[in-house]
Amino acid sequence: MKREYEKLCQICQHRGRRSVLDCYGATNRAEFFAVATESFFEDANRLSSECPELFQEMMGFYQQDPRQQMI
């Protein structure tokens, strides 16, 4: 997660670059976790393709794959 947090901080410094993660997550590590959680449940397909390692970490933490629950 540390690597993804640092990556988001870099992305958010350059306007015009986009991420599945909201730049509010670059505020601090606690907010990063909150933003990552939101993306995990709200935009699982995009998170899994853009940040596969982070997605795997979130799946392990929450013990579920929200892509399986999508219709």
Per-residue pLDDT tens digits for 26-68? 999 999 999 999 999 999 999 999 999 999 999 999 999 999 9
- The per-residue pLDDT for 44 is 97
pLDDT band at 14 (very low <50, low <70, confident <90, very high): confident
- What is the pTM assigned to this prediction? 0.89
DSSP state for residue 12 in the 8-state scheme:
H
Where do the H-state alpha helices sit in 23-68? 29-42, 44-50, 52-62
Q: Please provide the CATH number assigned to the domain covering 2-69.
A: 3.40.390.10
